Structure 1
Amino acid sequence: MGLISTSYALLLAISFVALVDAGCHYQFPAFPPPDYAEPCPELLEAFNRIETTVSALVADPSFNTSSYSIEVTYAKSTLWTSFHTAVDKDPARPGAEEIDGRSAYRIASITKTFTVLGILKQHAAGNLSLDDSVDKYIPQLAGHQNGTIPWKDITLRSLASQLSGLPRDWAQGDLATELSDPSALGLPPASLSGLPQCDSFGEYRPCTEQELLQSIQSKPPLFAPNQKSTYSNIAFELLGLVLANVTLMDYEDYIQSAILDPLEMTGSSFSKPSDSIAVLPKNISWYWDVDEGIQNPTGGLYASSADMSKFLRYVLSHYNGITPALNWLQPASFTAGLNSFYGTPWEMFRSNKILNDPDRLVTFATKGGGLPGYSTIIVLVPEFELGITILTAGNETLLNHLLEATTVPLIQAADMVTQRHVQNAYTGTFEASVINSSIALSYTRKNGLGITDWISNGTDMMTAIPRYFKFDSGKSHVQLMTTLLFRDQDNLAGECWRMLVLPNQSPPDKAKVWDDFCVSDVDTMMYDGLPWNELVFWDKDPNGRFHTVELTAFRVSMSRANTKEVISEKLLMQDL
């Protein structure tokens, strides 16, 4: 028994020391998202800054033929919009007279998110499984083929998360249709033998299901399934066929009835909207009329920015509740970049440059799209419960300028709103004087919400913890991390948090390679069967301020200290 006790104490000590010695910071999610329904002067100031920046940007003559729509929303409603109408439009076909939230764009590959949502809904309904192979739902892929793609090993999940190993395109992207003189690139004359006779090959017409299947059944894979991520439009065209076969509906009709109609996205469709609401870029408006046919699931949707805000609000409210098969905003595979990942089908990015602190990361789930004349993106920031839509028509370089000009001030402002919310809701001193217990919570921009003083049954815990677990208290702090769960989940009461002992700063210059290696270990230990490091906040008043903190394993609830509470406790002590 003595050996077991000693070993267990050593294990606990190692777990604490490992956290303190590592250069790891738990910043996601840092706090529950703030309630943006309350007045937020920080956001108003940020929106003014963004408007000034983008107004100056589009004053550049190179953007005279460009229009844009920008919307910022949170889970409940739109927070801000900005629109710009091109000053130079085609007089023969100008499109919408003035751009607003109802103006329609071709949103291109953002359509993929609707295709994947349809697959997730069908998985949740039990009509298909993400982990079934694609040939179960497209029988033609199970038969004889001239190519070498291993369809039986490609699942719906790998198709949706860019891990199928399939080529990018089959009816687009061939230089034979783009180059007037192939020899200028050292290429021999093109024969065009065996190529599909649709889309960009010959006189335009939309491709058919038969042409898609015939083409891909003769191709080799780019990678083995699930070996390496690479962008594939073919993958989503196949997912569209899966939806059609499972639902016995046309893909377009299913998306309309299952997603667009329930979300009241009345300005979105696969049918070409009227020119009266169309955003038509000068000299490139021809693509507005293109029917993408069997390629609709990868990029055929028309939509307005107001409709995309509705869609983003749905995602922000449901991303972890659509199906238990996955959290929709978690990464699924690596990309070539150090801080970039693929989701299903998101393009995800993590940056420590926005909040001016190398240890503060912000995670973005994005989906971009591009078609002739149109560059678009949607951005989800779940940590701050924000969604951003940027739709542009005209100069394709405009999108990246708008993305930088919008997201950086917005996230910095949202972080300030969060700081104010945290200081109001959680900081202060909580006491249970009868048993000589108290805890002081404070907020710093560097470390977030943490414990600065803690007395439990007369014991100074800020001294006892490092002494017992044998580490230098001067090198660490106790940070609180929300779990986004509630003790009373039905009534959303009793916010559950965890205490973590973390380093005060990263290792100097992170000089060693493995200083950047971090793992998550939030549930560090128990006491008497209860989580040792759990805190629960109770008694939230109308101003969002909590008045009780429960320390689960210590079996104590402490009340926020104020004059009335102190007087009451003194009277109680006199009675005792």
Structure 2
Amino acid sequence: MWLEIFGYTLIELCLFFVFKYGVKRTLDYTWYCTLPIILGYGLHKVIEHEKQNVLQEKAAQARRAYCPPPGPSLPPPDRPLASPPFLPFDRSPCTPDHSLEAYDWYASTTFVVKASIGNLTLIDYAHAAEGSSHSAQPSPEVHASGLPGYSTPHEPLHETKFRIASVTKLFTVLAVLLSKETIGWEDAITKHIPELDARSYGEVTIGALAGQTSGLGRFGYVGDLSFIPGFNPVQLGMGVIQEPLPGCDPFPGGRVCTRSEVLDMFNHPAYWPHSPNFGPLYSNIAYNLLGMALESAHSKPFDRIIEDLIFDPIGMTHSTFEMPKEPKSAVLPQKGAQWAVPNFGNFNPAGGLWSTPNDMLVFLQALLHHKLLSPVETRKWLQPRSMLPTLHQLVGAPWEILRPTDLDVRASRPINLYTKAGGVAGYSSFAVLIPEYDIAISISAAGNTSDAAIVDILPLVVKPLVAFADHEARLQATTKYAGTYSMPESNSSITLTLDDGPGMSITSFGVNSIPVLERLAKLRCATCDEFSARLYPTDPDSLRAPRETWRILFDGKRPNSTFADMDCGSWNWGDPWRYAGLPLDTVVFEFDGEKAASIELVGWRTTLSRAK
């Protein structure tokens, strides 16, 4: 981009002056060189800046041009065709991980990251903190997955227990959903724990407890300042209380409250719920009540319920609520560190589970692939329960739903991440589902700064994994669906292509020599230049079946945004026209092996064959 004079770049001319007149004389007339270079460089930067502005505006216009329906843009990749570039998680066992070493927490944190698309594990990464009993030993070995990693002197970290803290809440709610014959989502908690004060708890439902909208506080007795040795209330302007709390459930490892003491706490006015269903307030003691309701329904201890309903059916053989008895089987604190290791007692339903990274990935894949709940029940569970004052987060039961818009996907849009974070002293974890791409991610960490570690690690995993999955989904769609489908004798055809927009573009569509797109555009009072017809996989239950049902979205391009994006109402545009009872926006792919062989245009009662 440098400007040229008589065929020479400005840098070449300056070098000529140096060689001909020497450095001194050249420096005496520095401005001869520097001014043109500065001007040339400045012009170059202006041009580059303008190009970037144009590209960004085009990208913004492309994003505004389409309004895809809720759900995935394309089916998830069945089997990734390439190896993903997962730096900093893709390395040889003997190579130092310099990119992660830059983080302050790296040396002192033991962590494992596992991630998969479908049943294929793509990330299987382990790091042991310096000086820990699981300190990594460089080895040429690789893990059973075939991916490089570390071997350890004891149990491999992938088979070593970490406390997963509040990720336990997923298991508690799942157990409730699996107990639907005895526990209803809209049941009042007083139905299952009748000792609770009916006036205060009569309208607190199982669903409100699970979705963090019960109005209950966070901890109950746990963490109360009166339990902290040496705490002086005068420092906060408070007087000394002469009637102390019961000395139970002060912290993990303290005396566990009896059932009677627990109920006394919940029935004390200081702990009553406030305005149930008003909005989310994170509550651990809400999950204590869910655990008690489960025990009442099943007449057995909470840990046995989780074992019978979840661990045993899917083979989670290394997960437990018991404090590990064998030091080598778990990541435990180094000498002097105060980590939350003892049994959680009444708080087990809120955060007491120990599990291995391998078990956690098995659990997340079981959710994605409906091994415990049906597809309908799973989708219902993933729905948000309340909103937050941010555009990118929603609250589920107990899902913490993230909706980032800056991920590297071809058709820019929010991507739903169904996450659950957990954190107690010494341990932090993340469980993540991304159903659109069939992605499961487990992050387990232990260390004094493990909470900072998982927050930094999450985007390092999600961003490249989603970008890779999006690329693979597009490659798969090109092979599996794109092309021209026709019936030559009737002069009918439809052509499907993949462009930079969401779903698949219908670039031409004619039946019996009639230009269908043009006629449908007129029904929408739009010209063909403003009209868009795109296919989306809106019936996920049919995917990977011999017949897949997709929906055409008849859309009009919209170059300008409107108040609250009110011009994007695609969820309200489906099934716009029918003829003699059959929908014009529905098509059915039929397969021959891995590829679509034909497409049925349901409303036209016509089937077109794919060109070979």
Q: The TM-score by the shorter chain falls in which range?
A: 0.7 to 0.9
Amino acid at match of 1:163: T
Shift of 1:31: 1.9
- Does 2:178 align with 1:115? no
Is the contact between residue 71 and residue 538 of structure 2 (CA under 8 Å) also seen in structure 1?
no
Which deviations, in whole Å up to 9, do the C-alpha atoms of 1:340-399 show, x marking residues without a partner?
Answer: 111111111112110367842210100110010011110000001111000111123111
Equivalent in 456, 470, 474 of residue 419 of structure 1:
474
Distance in 2 (alpha carbons) for counterparts of 1:468 and 1:21: 22
Amino acid at match of 2:314: L
Going from structure 1 to structure 2, the CA distance change for 1:470 and 1:24 (only over 3 Å counts) comes to same
Which deviations, in whole Å up to 9, do the C-alpha atoms of 1:118-144 show, x marking residues without a partner?
Answer: 100100xx122111100000011156x
Equivalent in 280, 283, 287 of residue 339 of structure 2:
287
- Does 2:365 align with 1:313? yes
Alignment of 1:139-150 (within 5 A): 139-142=194-197, 150=200
Going from structure 1 to structure 2, the CA distance change for 1:549 and 1:23 (only over 3 Å counts) comes to closer
Q: Corresponding residue for 1:559? A: 609
Q: Corresponding residue for 2:423? A: 370
- Does 2:522 align with 1:481? no
> Secondary structure of the equivalent of 2:485?
strand
Distance in 1 (alpha carbons) for counterparts of 2:206 and 2:374: 19
Is the contact between residue 578 and residue 584 of structure 2 (CA under 8 Å) also seen in structure 1?
yes
Q: Corresponding residue for 2:214? A: 164
Amino acid at match of 2:439: L
Q: Corresponding residue for 1:456? A: 511
Is the contact between residue 411 and residue 502 of structure 2 (CA under 8 Å) also seen in structure 1?
no
Shift of 1:101: 1.1
Equivalent in 563, 567, 582 of residue 530 of structure 1:
582
Q: Corresponding residue for 1:24? A: 67
Equivalent in 77, 94, 112 of residue 34 of structure 1:
77
Is the contact between residue 34 and residue 421 of structure 1 (CA under 8 Å) also seen in structure 2?
yes
Amino acid at match of 2:367: V
Going from structure 1 to structure 2, the CA distance change for 1:436 and 1:392 (only over 3 Å counts) comes to same
Is the contact between residue 381 and residue 387 of structure 1 (CA under 8 Å) also seen in structure 2?
yes
Amino acid at match of 1:528: A
Q: Corresponding residue for 1:10? A: none
Equivalent in 81, 91, 100 of residue 157 of structure 2:
100
Distance in 1 (alpha carbons) for counterparts of 2:420 and 2:74: 25
Going from structure 1 to structure 2, the CA distance change for 1:223 and 1:524 (only over 3 Å counts) comes to farther
Distance in 1 (alpha carbons) for counterparts of 2:90 and 2:602: 48
Distance in 1 (alpha carbons) for counterparts of 2:411 and 2:64: 17
Amino acid at match of 1:51: D
Amino acid at match of 2:317: T
Going from structure 1 to structure 2, the CA distance change for 1:518 and 1:469 (only over 3 Å counts) comes to closer
Distance in 2 (alpha carbons) for counterparts of 1:517 and 1:80: 37
Going from structure 1 to structure 2, the CA distance change for 1:472 and 1:71 (only over 3 Å counts) comes to same
Is the contact between residue 330 and residue 343 of structure 1 (CA under 8 Å) also seen in structure 2?
yes
> Secondary structure of the equivalent of 2:195?
helix
Shift of 1:179: 8.0
- Does 2:249 align with 1:199? yes
> Secondary structure of the equivalent of 1:483?
coil
Q: Which has the higher contact order (CA 8 A, sep 6+)?
A: 1
Which deviations, in whole Å up to 9, do the C-alpha atoms of 1:445-479 show, x marking residues without a partner?
Answer: 32331200011111111211112331132123111
Q: Corresponding residue for 1:277? A: 329
Is the contact between residue 70 and residue 571 of structure 2 (CA under 8 Å) also seen in structure 1?
no
Is the contact between residue 84 and residue 465 of structure 2 (CA under 8 Å) also seen in structure 1?
no
- Does 2:86 align with 1:47? yes
Q: Corresponding residue for 1:8? A: none
Going from structure 1 to structure 2, the CA distance change for 1:253 and 1:62 (only over 3 Å counts) comes to closer
Distance in 1 (alpha carbons) for counterparts of 2:356 and 2:251: 30
Is the contact between residue 535 and residue 552 of structure 2 (CA under 8 Å) also seen in structure 1?
yes
What is the RMSD of the two structures over their aligned residues, measured on CA atoms?
2.9
Alignment of 1:182-261 (within 5 A): 182=232, 186-191=236-241, 193-200=243-250, 204-218=254-268, 219-221=270-272, 223-261=274-312
Going from structure 1 to structure 2, the CA distance change for 1:558 and 1:320 (only over 3 Å counts) comes to farther
Is the contact between residue 96 and residue 276 of structure 1 (CA under 8 Å) also seen in structure 2?
no
Shift of 1:555: 0.8
Going from structure 1 to structure 2, the CA distance change for 1:142 and 1:442 (only over 3 Å counts) comes to same
Going from structure 1 to structure 2, the CA distance change for 1:62 and 1:69 (only over 3 Å counts) comes to closer
Is the contact between residue 65 and residue 282 of structure 1 (CA under 8 Å) also seen in structure 2?
no
Q: Corresponding residue for 2:24? A: none
- Does 2:401 align with 1:348? yes
Unaligned runs of 5+ in 1: 1-19, 563-576
TM-score, scaled to structure 2: 0.79
Q: Percent identity?
A: 29
Is the contact between residue 499 and residue 534 of structure 1 (CA under 8 Å) also seen in structure 2?
yes
> Secondary structure of the equivalent of 2:394?
strand
Shift of 1:414: 0.4
Q: Corresponding residue for 1:13? A: none
Is the contact between residue 340 and residue 349 of structure 1 (CA under 8 Å) also seen in structure 2?
yes
Distance in 2 (alpha carbons) for counterparts of 1:524 and 1:320: 33
Equivalent in 339, 354, 378 of residue 302 of structure 1:
354
Amino acid at match of 1:40: L
Going from structure 1 to structure 2, the CA distance change for 1:323 and 1:78 (only over 3 Å counts) comes to same
Equivalent in 436, 449, 453 of residue 383 of structure 1:
436
Shift of 1:335: 2.4
Which deviations, in whole Å up to 9, do the C-alpha atoms of 1:197-236 show, x marking residues without a partner?
Answer: 1233698223332222111111354531112111111111
Q: Corresponding residue for 2:12? A: none
Is the contact between residue 348 and residue 363 of structure 1 (CA under 8 Å) also seen in structure 2?
yes
Distance in 2 (alpha carbons) for counterparts of 1:203 and 1:388: 31
Q: Corresponding residue for 2:485? A: 430
Q: Corresponding residue for 1:15? A: none
Amino acid at match of 2:221: A
Going from structure 1 to structure 2, the CA distance change for 1:90 and 1:548 (only over 3 Å counts) comes to closer
Distance in 2 (alpha carbons) for counterparts of 1:375 and 1:109: 9
Alignment of 1:56-95 (within 5 A): 56-58=99-101, 60=103, 62-89=105-132
Amino acid at match of 1:529: G
Which deviations, in whole Å up to 9, do the C-alpha atoms of 1:504-543 show, x marking residues without a partner?
Answer: 45x43x36345476451322221110111111000232xx
Q: Corresponding residue for 1:3? A: none
Amino acid at match of 2:210: A
> Secondary structure of the equivalent of 2:131?
coil
TM-score, scaled to structure 1: 0.84
Is the contact between residue 479 and residue 500 of structure 1 (CA under 8 Å) also seen in structure 2?
yes
